[in-house]
Structure 1
Amino acid sequence: MSATGDFTVRVRKKEVVRALLPLQEHWLPLSNLDLLLPPVDVSVFFCYSNSDAMSFAAMVAVLKKSLAETIVSYYAFAGELLLNSAGEPELLCNNRGVDFIEAYADVELRNLDLYNPDASIQGKLVPEKKRGVLSVQTTELKCGGVVIGCTFDHRIADAYSTNMFFVSWAEMARSTPMSVIPCFRRSLLNPRHPSHLDPFIDQLFQTISLSKISHQHTENLLSRIYYIKAEHLYNFQSLASSNGIPRSKLESFSAFLWKLMAQFAEQNNKMISKMGIIVDGRTRFSNERNETAKIMASYFGNVLSIPYGEHKVNELVERPLFWVANEVHRFIENALNRDHFLGLIDWVEAHRPQPTVAKIYKEGSNDGPAFVVSSGQRFPVCEIDFGWGRPIFGSYHFPWGGQTGYVMPMPSATINGDWVVYMHLLKEQLEFIENVASHIFRPLTADYLCFN
């Protein structure tokens, strides 16, 4: 049978999983870096092949028990987000709990159209978050396989924080002590007194009326999942570093993708192309004794910035890959330091309680394409073993709305150096990429997952 998104999902049971131990109710303020995020939800899912060692009912029991144990430490995921008197979101840690759904889908794992997650995943195998901060859905497939899908409020956690949570949840399910205890010390991200406003921040972020933040999925933006072979990634890196300056795989891949998007823009008579890269600031907070850096390694929340660059499309098309990679590095390096994140915290403080948004999020325009690349290289897909084996596939699913594209490369569960790349772009952009680079961006198929 061919891959398909044409199947039905039947919900068997809905319940709320609360922390195993009683928690003292308290308010947890969002940090200034949390307040940079608009109210958008992010989904992630993991696919497991049939396990003869454990029934689905036994799996669900393990998941619920270990989830109740895990949210004792990750109590933010068991709370609810409310507006305070200033109109800003604030987390009430009241052990409201996590919505947990058990479901059945009349499709086999090998027939899931993972290449087209809008049809096979969205609204079917990842839950809609209706209340609280986190929702979980566990779905039994016709073949005995299982899909675990989660949706969380991005204002509470970034991908780094969520990755910590998934690893801890899997550890608890295997009766293994948690390797990381999350830190919620918001004082680590307090604004400075006196503050120092960096004009560079005004180039990256802006205040915006809450009523103007659009999160409706535009009809012409689609999600696709591809895989890229390791040899192509090494080739990108070699070409991007050919001027003698070594570049990371992420910089090299991003440069290659920027050139592709510029080619698309040139064919459509566009003049400018813009690309942002999400930077995690945890390793930027350090002091001489490195105490803060150790604490930040377990910090739960958002510690992100989105620097971006723009260039004329003809330059991006005509210049060699190493030149484009240098330009990528040039705009990223402005955010790779402690002062940038301290300045970002001060900038939010100066504009509170006005909502803010990254400018690149609003930059899809008639001038040319704009998109953001998020580094998912820490995605711990091979560590999410709840006791019945590691997943054969896992991915984020983030159709974030607006006109700005979103791309997230992640390590493949095949453990061979390949990448899985989630892309949320205009339909025409995806068609162009598949036409000119089909040998590199290969649709995610059951053959790749099951027989590689």
Structure 2
Amino acid sequence: MDGAKGDFSVEMRRKEVVAAVLPMKEHRLPLSNLDLLLPPVDVGVFFCYKKPVSATGEDNIPFTFTSMVCVLKKALAQVLVSYYTFAGEVVKNTVGEPELLCNNYGVVFHEAFANIELRDLNLYNPDESIEGKLVPKKKQGVLSVQATELKCGGLVVACTFDHRVADAYSANMFLVSWAETAQSKPLSLFPSFRRSLLNPRHPGRYDPSMDYMYVPISALQPPNPCNQVDHLISRIYYVEAEQLSELQALARGSGQKRTKLEAFTALLWKIIASGEGGSCKRCKMGIVVDGRTRLSGGDGKEGETIKTYFGNVLSIPFAEKTAGELRERPLSWAAEAVHNCLESAVTGEHFLGLIDWVEAHRPEPTMATIYAGGSSEEDCGPAVVVSSGQRFPVAKMDFGWGKAAFGSYHFPWGGDAGYVMPMPSAVGNGDWVVYMHLLKGQLQMIETQASHLFRPLASHHLCF
């Protein structure tokens, strides 16, 4: 690709605040106990569009950057009526916990121009092409948006949102609703903000394993000394469906079929462990689990409500094995360990217990243990979190000028643990796009040992 060094400039041309089109009564909305498990980190997402094939859109208005931005802003103002939390602000309550001030502050909307063509964007290295250029830094509010015109007439639409307010499932709901609104379609889903769905039980109860999976922030140790010689960087890879099927077959053990995500996670775990010098180093692998289907309570009205719940409904169980075990044992063994880890968190009782665990520790801030990484010489092996992005709605992100040629989350969160998210390709053929935020040495191991599987994202992988 041209521009492989990310050597292009972005000119910020305009900034304004887009508020919901209808006024609302100002009120405060508490964060749920599951929201309170998230540190104050922002998550980015972006979609790339080629120059519109059709010359005009609705009402025969020509598709120019200005007209497309008008569509985005108008639809945003409308959809914020339903997704009003994205137009609010995060403030502190009387005991110092974060909560939402629903005041229709609005969304900061940036307009920009980048002197590069879509085909030349080095999406394999988002640290150079995306970070600080095409995905906005959120300085105010809960959500920030940037629309960037490319030299070829293409467009990049990017958002950055506060993870404490929404998980990926919630953000995906919003993104689809935004695109539907832009095309004057009825919303396929309406968000629910019923915090009572995640209320703690009285008396509360939880399994002792929660004290292993989650930790009060005051109990955290200093940063992992082993990681100070390396640093986390971001890369995006393309994985073909055929390779995923072959990997899934290799992960089958004793007649037990494993999912593609389990097989993928197992391979990633083994590769990362192979780079550890000592066989006794503990390697942690966490998997993000969405609790909506676990808490749905059947097919009744309450079940439907929790499926459209807007907020965080996540748990991050993790497994821990030595580097020696992971190197010596077959892929099927690692896949079974991943499967068993997931089994511990795919029940309604697990999520109810997690809600109760947070309640027992409030107002002390808490977080997932795996995000803390190892902190001692004996326990300074790697820690990585895998989050399935298979619901990523890249195929649905049509604002009226065509489907996205590419889309991805962008989450260089800055913690000690690595983060990996596989998502469906915009091509829609079963291929994956995989965003990785890992140590530089870990990525080198992946590219050395599994170059046949993880191919650096290139322009021919885009849906042109």
Counterpart amino acid of residue 457 in structure 2: L
User: How far apart, in 1, do the equivalents of 2:300 and 2:204 lie?
Assistant: 23
**1:261 pairs with 2:254:** no
Counterpart amino acid of residue 217 in structure 2: I
Q: 1:229 aligns with which of 230, 234, 240?
A: 240
**1:160 pairs with 2:169:** yes
Counterpart amino acid of residue 235 in structure 1: E
**CA-CA distance at 1:291 after TM superposition:** 3.7
**CA-CA distance at 1:90 after TM superposition:** 0.7
Match runs of 1:393-432 below 5 Å? 393-432=406-445
Counterpart amino acid of residue 127 in structure 1: P
> Which residue pairs with 2:60 in the alignment?
none
Match runs of 1:192-271 below 5 Å? 192-209=201-218, 220-265=231-276, 267=277, 271=281
Contact map agreement 2:253 2:333 (CA 8 A) in 1: no
> Which residue pairs with 1:56 in the alignment?
65
Contact map agreement 1:278 1:305 (CA 8 A) in 2: yes
Counterpart amino acid of residue 370 in structure 2: I
> Which residue pairs with 1:436 in the alignment?
449
TM norm structure 2: 0.93
> Which residue pairs with 2:58 in the alignment?
none
**1:299 pairs with 2:309:** yes
Q: 1:67 aligns with which of 62, 76, 82?
A: 76
User: How far apart, in 1, do the equivalents of 2:391 and 2:34 lie?
Assistant: 20
- Please give the per-residue CA displacement for 1:187-222, whole angstroms capped at 9, x wherever unaligned: 0000001111321111100111499899xx987110
Counterpart amino acid of residue 360 in structure 2: A
**How has the CA–CA distance of structure 1 residues 41 and 249 changed in structure 2, closer, same or farther, with 3 Å as cutoff?**
same
Counterpart amino acid of residue 95 in structure 1: N
**How has the CA–CA distance of structure 1 residues 432 and 211 changed in structure 2, closer, same or farther, with 3 Å as cutoff?**
closer
> Which residue pairs with 2:196 in the alignment?
187
Counterpart amino acid of residue 452 in structure 2: H
**How has the CA–CA distance of structure 1 residues 356 and 87 changed in structure 2, closer, same or farther, with 3 Å as cutoff?**
same
User: What SS does the corresponding residue of 1:315 show, helix, strand or coil?
Assistant: helix
Q: 1:132 aligns with which of 141, 157, 168?
A: 141
Contact map agreement 2:288 2:386 (CA 8 A) in 1: yes
Q: 1:361 aligns with which of 360, 366, 371?
A: 371
Residue identity (%): 63
Q: 1:352 aligns with which of 346, 355, 362?
A: 362
User: How far apart, in 1, do the equivalents of 2:71 and 2:427 lie?
Assistant: 25
User: How far apart, in 2, do the equivalents of 1:358 and 1:231 lie?
Assistant: 34
**1:105 pairs with 2:114:** yes
> Which residue pairs with 1:390 in the alignment?
403
User: What SS does the corresponding residue of 1:73 show, helix, strand or coil?
Assistant: coil
**1:314 pairs with 2:315:** no
User: How far apart, in 1, do the equivalents of 2:241 and 2:100 lie?
Assistant: 42
User: How far apart, in 2, do the equivalents of 1:364 and 1:145 lie?
Assistant: 44
User: How far apart, in 1, do the equivalents of 2:219 and 2:301 lie?
Assistant: 38
Count of residue correspondences: 448
Counterpart amino acid of residue 80 in structure 1: E
**CA-CA distance at 1:3 after TM superposition:** 3.6
User: What SS does the corresponding residue of 2:246 show, helix, strand or coil?
Assistant: helix
TM norm structure 1: 0.96
Q: 2:184 aligns with which of 163, 166, 175?
A: 175
User: How far apart, in 2, do the equivalents of 1:288 and 1:378 lie?
Assistant: 21
- Please give the per-residue CA displacement for 1:50-74, whole angstroms capped at 9, x wherever unaligned: 1142111110000000000000000
Contact map agreement 1:281 1:336 (CA 8 A) in 2: yes
Match runs of 1:71-150 below 5 Å? 71-150=80-159
**CA-CA distance at 1:313 after TM superposition:** 1.4
User: How far apart, in 2, do the equivalents of 1:436 and 1:3 lie?
Assistant: 27
More divergent stretch after superposition (297-306 vs 205-214): 205-214
**CA-CA distance at 1:324 after TM superposition:** 1.1
> Which residue pairs with 1:27 in the alignment?
28
User: How far apart, in 2, do the equivalents of 1:40 and 1:296 lie?
Assistant: 24
Give ranges in structure 2 of 5+ residues lacking alignment: 56-62
Counterpart amino acid of residue 242 in structure 2: E
Contact map agreement 2:427 2:462 (CA 8 A) in 1: yes
User: What SS does the corresponding residue of 1:343 show, helix, strand or coil?
Assistant: helix
User: How far apart, in 1, do the equivalents of 2:260 and 2:395 lie?
Assistant: 20
User: What SS does the corresponding residue of 1:179 show, helix, strand or coil?
Assistant: coil
Counterpart amino acid of residue 247 in structure 1: R
- Please give the per-residue CA displacement for 1:68-102, whole angstroms capped at 9, x wherever unaligned: 00000000000000011100001000000000000
User: How far apart, in 1, do the equivalents of 2:463 and 2:307 lie?
Assistant: 35
User: How far apart, in 2, do the equivalents of 1:450 and 1:175 lie?
Assistant: 25
Contact map agreement 1:3 1:110 (CA 8 A) in 2: no
**CA-CA distance at 1:268 after TM superposition:** 6.0
- Please give the per-residue CA displacement for 1:249-296, whole angstroms capped at 9, x wherever unaligned: 11111111111111112x466622110000000000133564432111
Q: 1:283 aligns with which of 279, 285, 293?
A: 293
**1:379 pairs with 2:392:** yes
**How has the CA–CA distance of structure 1 residues 386 and 207 changed in structure 2, closer, same or farther, with 3 Å as cutoff?**
same
**How has the CA–CA distance of structure 1 residues 37 and 210 changed in structure 2, closer, same or farther, with 3 Å as cutoff?**
farther
User: How far apart, in 1, do the equivalents of 2:279 and 2:128 lie?
Assistant: 32
**How has the CA–CA distance of structure 1 residues 210 and 31 changed in structure 2, closer, same or farther, with 3 Å as cutoff?**
farther
**How has the CA–CA distance of structure 1 residues 242 and 74 changed in structure 2, closer, same or farther, with 3 Å as cutoff?**
same
User: What SS does the corresponding residue of 1:262 show, helix, strand or coil?
Assistant: helix
**CA-CA distance at 1:232 after TM superposition:** 1.2
Contact map agreement 2:273 2:323 (CA 8 A) in 1: yes
User: How far apart, in 2, do the equivalents of 1:405 and 1:364 lie?
Assistant: 12
**CA-CA distance at 1:402 after TM superposition:** 2.1
Give ranges in structure 1 of 5+ residues lacking alignment: none
**CA-CA distance at 1:336 after TM superposition:** 0.4
Q: What value does the CA root-mean-square deviation take over the aligned residues?
A: 1.8
**How has the CA–CA distance of structure 1 residues 287 and 449 changed in structure 2, closer, same or farther, with 3 Å as cutoff?**
closer
**CA-CA distance at 1:322 after TM superposition:** 1.5
Contact map agreement 1:284 1:293 (CA 8 A) in 2: no
Counterpart amino acid of residue 82 in structure 1: V
> Which residue pairs with 1:2 in the alignment?
2
